[in-house]
Amino acid sequence: IRPWRCECCGGNFIVSLMFDEAVEGFDGFSVSLPARRYGKETFLAKLKAAAEEGLSELLEIEGEERERWLQRQEEGKAVSALISEIKSEIGLLP
């Protein structure tokens, strides 16, 4: 979380959370909240709510990626087993 002071009015903050670009299809999110409009507690509560919303999205993406990875692992095992069976049938394995 990084606060930035607005060059124009000096009072706005943009809070930006950027994540590793290696996460396929996700490049981060940002929240823009005018600090002058809210008191400190309200500002922090709104920031926390926005971060929690983004976290649930990240966890969902992570779960989907993990499922795809597990599926690829299972497919790889099945292909390896099939290749071993074929090699055994044609006498390439002892």
pLDDT in tens, 39-60: 667 777 777 777 777 777 777 8
Query: Would you say residue 3 lies in a domain?
Result: no
Query: Would you say residue 22 lies in a domain?
Result: yes
Query: Would you say residue 39 lies in a domain?
Result: yes
Query: Would you say residue 94 lies in a domain?
Result: no
Q: Which two tokens stand for residue 78?
A: 């099945």
As a whole number of angstroms, the distance between CA 69 and CA 78 comes to: 14
Query: Would you say residue 7 lies in a domain?
Result: no
Q: Are 32 and 17 in contact (CB under 8 A)?
A: no
As a whole number of angstroms, the distance between CA 19 and CA 29 comes to: 9
Residue 35, domain extent: 12-89
17 pLDDT tier (thresholds 50, 70, 90): very low
Query: Would you say residue 79 lies in a domain?
Result: yes
Per the structure, how many domains does the chain have?
Answer: 1
Q: Which two tokens stand for residue 20?
A: 């590793």
The reported pTM is: 0.41
